[in-house]
Structure 1
């Protein structure tokens, strides 16, 4: 079984920006979503698409991801639950890890969240100053919640 072990943080400023080495535009939406499972489609830079199935809750979850034809993803967009999430993902090298910083747009404009994927739940990593409060497990910051909740509270910058 494929596992995703991910910690999530709010940002404590823009100190990450000079360190971002690449960015990609993401559009994602959900086809179904339950308390402990979801099916998401993500379109990257308008050029490729993936279907992702996630199971479980919390820090470590099952994740199964498959390439799908872009045309299929665009057709499935019409079946999206809730809103289509639009964001730009910036990558920042951080020791042996990469921090992914998602800058949300549209209805979620103003929200910026950092994620770091780990190989083990207890794995340590460098904690740069721009990482603010940890929100791992806080359902308000799950992309599924952001897509399905009609009103989203955007946190004040630190």
Structure 2
């Protein structure tokens, strides 16, 4: 057996935490007829507003080829609309439609209730600390040490 590592496998731990959390939300997504990836796009657009596809890919952690196919399907379903940028016709912005806004409005109480259940189980303080600490970790790791 090889010697053990000095640190726990943080990416694996975070993935396990994600899967544990998503097990609580998947039934809501399934009942609404949306995939996890579609929900990430819908939720991001509802919080941020219109975005370019490359911004969505980065924010939602979806590879561009997969996102391109998914956006085409979401457009066919009437969940998103594409608008050419007035400043640059080669660029497009993706935004929600009235249909997707209604879907999000229907899902919001269930999603909020699930988050409340999680908060009740782990405590508001721990939940807030997780948000703060994960945000801080991401920002610190993303920094380029060469630019400092």
Q: Structure 2 length normalisation: TM-score?
A: 0.24
More helix per residue? 2
Structure label with greater radius of gyration: 2
TM-score (norm 1): 0.23
Tell me which protein shows more strand as a share of its residues: 1
